[in-house]
Chain A
């Protein structure tokens, strides 16, 4: 079984082969493409779980991670060793990622029906198949995406980690803009790409510094993260006297720079803006990007490099305070926005940002196991929620479709309505603009639990897990652990921030459940919503148990149950020689997490328990007034960026354009160009008269020699032999003559 771990490098391979197969061969056939993609994910899953469980089952696994090299790429004095690494965190990630990928792939195969924003006339074939016209392409993209994530998990060096990281970046760009007919999707994909790129560039600088200052220079995790190197980094300080970073140890700078990668990838403030917009992509993509894989990759980066951060915590506390601050702030900040959103996926998006903030904050205060634990549980229940919301949207769209067909049947003059592409009248409300045909707006839903029970109940399970419903759900235990770390470590501000965020989380989750599933249907389309197809609901049913039971592996020791996760990670921590505090039992965090979870749910149920009545304005809007509006408009951050950074950039661009094209550069270039042309003419003349003559002359002479030499080859053997004899004699004589002369 142990030897099986050496196959870890194979995990990213099947999805990649699936990607190639779809792109090259099966792209004409949508069903086969889906099967190939799912097959790739399943094979990868079948490889990953045995690996993961072999790791879980191994004695003291953390103390002997499996590492291997596949090949090396020589680079000057050193070499990039490409290989794989399975240690405790990556085993846990393999467990989570491979399973969720299979679920998402299956779900996607059912979800990617013919989208409503396309016209049937343009894509008759796809419409008749009832599938998205670029169904196969979608399958190929998500397979590549899966490759990126699996590869990232088993990478053994920061280089390969970063390569797979960027593969995912590319895929997220392609997938968010998948429905590129929609302007919003195009914009969102570019926004996601550009925003994460900002983080990545800064991260790359950090990586370079890490490489340069490491002893020996290496980006292999095993070499880079050993204690000696980290202590060496901690002792160095910046060779500058700049105000802010002058005295800081190098390690602090590196930590913060690399952390920017996480800020971009895991959508932390201030680079969080791309994630809500990324909801423009198909929902399986949202589930994959925002729950299971990509945003987790950001946190996984921190977990992977935790030995570095652990040393930073002691050597440069300010750097880690920055991390904790960003995380805590994001957690609360995003939670407040989520309270005032109507789009079912946007609520989840902000919720994701908020929960990632939790994990980042946990890293910032040194709660390494808690962060990893929350990463795992969150991936499951957030994937569940995203897939559930996708199912809801899908259902409501079907309902909308049904309503249209229905009205057509009654309306004799229905032609003027076209195919349901008429723009519906927007309703201005105090709690935001409402499009009555928007299938994602929760105000258009209500009472869906009866219409779609599977989706509804699994969504509620996921929601309870997200809110941290006490004792039972996964979310409670992982959140509780973060809170107890914060309390135990004396990070009171972080603790209370996170507690408040947890309260808001429970509140907006209940709000979402209430608005969507409880109460009575508020629109006609909600009334006609059907349950989704089995390929979509079965993944939900399969993920739901994890949203509950997975938390039980990390129940703190003082409950009398052995804390399996802590035990599993303990050896990893020992092996990497860093220290993690064991939070002592305290009633404060436990009771606080009980109170905030139950309180938030209770308040939420009181306000939204029966949904809203048709046309009723959000009660919280009435309570909070303008503050709600600020929440609703996401603190105007997008506008702020629009009017500061983007405007400034555009202005600068225009200015530079003028400098370039009108005032300075172009005139110079043109003048140089004219001079160049003149020079070229002179050169051409020179070329024609002298060089060409020379070249032709050489060619002619060469040819002449060839012809002349050819005459020596007259076909007579006696002549040939004469040549041999003569050349040998001449040769011998040349050599022999001096000897003869010396002897004479």
Chain B
């Protein structure tokens, strides 16, 4: 079992050393003749248009996050639904509490206007 870990270690060691070594070799051996074209941004052969720094709407992330939260909620609820018949009263109560807290969160988002696309 520990042998396996040794391989992980060896691999991580190699993974660390190889790129460092390659970069260092390139730095050591390669000739350096910089010009404008070489120094330009490489974008898969396509000429770059506009600024690389583009603003996204923060709201996009917000909605995404909220979606994620409820997605995860559903994942948690699946096993509960499957085991529902075996759950004790305490288990049911815990589930309901869990859902209630999330509903409270949803209401809060709503109330604070996070769901409105401005």
A contacts B: CB pair < 8 Å = yes
**Residues of A bordering B, CB below 8 Å:** 729, 732-733, 736-737, 739-740, 743
Q: Could you show 16 A-B contacts with beta carbons less than 8 Å apart?
A: A729-B16, A732-B12, A733-B13, A733-B16, A736-B9, A736-B12, A736-B13, A737-B13, A739-B6, A739-B9, A740-B6, A740-B9, A740-B10, A740-B13, A743-B6, A743-B10
When chains A and B are docked, how far (Å) is the Cα of A732 from the Cα of B9? 9
Query: Which chain B residue shows the least CB distance to A742?
Result: B6
Query: Which chain A residue shows the least CB distance to B5?
Result: A739
B6 partner residues in chain A, CB cutoff 8 A: 739-740, 743
Q: Is the interface of B mostly helix, strand, loop or mixed?
A: helix
When chains A and B are docked, how far (Å) is the Cα of A743 from the Cα of B10? 9
When chains A and B are docked, how far (Å) is the Cα of A733 from the Cα of B12? 10
When chains A and B are docked, how far (Å) is the Cα of A739 from the Cα of B16? 16
Q: Closest 3 A-B residue pairs measured CB to CB?
A: A736-B9, A743-B6, A740-B10
Chain B residues touching A, range: under 10
How many contacts A-B (CB < 8 Å)?
16
A729 partner residues in chain B, CB cutoff 8 A: 16
A739 partner residues in chain B, CB cutoff 8 A: 6, 9
Query: Which chain A residue shows the least CB distance to B9?
Result: A736
* Supplied contacts A736-B13, A739-B9, A743-B6, 13 more A-B pairs, CB within 8 Å: A729-B16, A732-B12, A733-B13, A733-B16, A736-B9, A736-B12, A737-B13, A739-B6, A740-B6, A740-B9, A740-B10, A740-B13, A743-B10
B16 partner residues in chain A, CB cutoff 8 A: 729, 733
Distance in angstroms from B83 CB to nearest chain A CB is 41
When chains A and B are docked, how far (Å) is the Cα of A383 from the Cα of B48? 114
When chains A and B are docked, how far (Å) is the Cα of A729 from the Cα of B9? 11
Distance in angstroms from B57 CB to nearest chain A CB is 24
Query: Which chain B residue shows the least CB distance to A744?
Result: B10
Distance in angstroms from A740 CB to nearest chain B CB is 6
A733 partner residues in chain B, CB cutoff 8 A: 13, 16
A740 partner residues in chain B, CB cutoff 8 A: 6, 9-10, 13
Instruction: Give chain B interface residues in 6-34, CB to chain A under 8 Å.
Output: 6, 9-10, 12-13, 16
Distance in angstroms from A734 CB to nearest chain B CB is 12
When chains A and B are docked, how far (Å) is the Cα of A729 from the Cα of B12? 10
Distance in angstroms from B1 CB to nearest chain A CB is 14
Distance in angstroms from A472 CB to nearest chain B CB is 87
When chains A and B are docked, how far (Å) is the Cα of A733 from the Cα of B13? 7
When chains A and B are docked, how far (Å) is the Cα of A632 from the Cα of B6? 109
Distance in angstroms from B53 CB to nearest chain A CB is 17
When chains A and B are docked, how far (Å) is the Cα of A729 from the Cα of B10? 13
When chains A and B are docked, how far (Å) is the Cα of A740 from the Cα of B12? 11
When chains A and B are docked, how far (Å) is the Cα of A732 from the Cα of B16? 11
Query: Which chain A residue shows the least CB distance to B14?
Result: A740
Distance in angstroms from B68 CB to nearest chain A CB is 24
Query: Which chain A residue shows the least CB distance to B3?
Result: A743
Instruction: Give chain B interface residues in 26-71, CB to chain A under 8 Å.
Output: none
When chains A and B are docked, how far (Å) is the Cα of A739 from the Cα of B9? 9
A743 partner residues in chain B, CB cutoff 8 A: 6, 10
When chains A and B are docked, how far (Å) is the Cα of A743 from the Cα of B6? 8
When chains A and B are docked, how far (Å) is the Cα of A736 from the Cα of B7? 11
B10 partner residues in chain A, CB cutoff 8 A: 740, 743
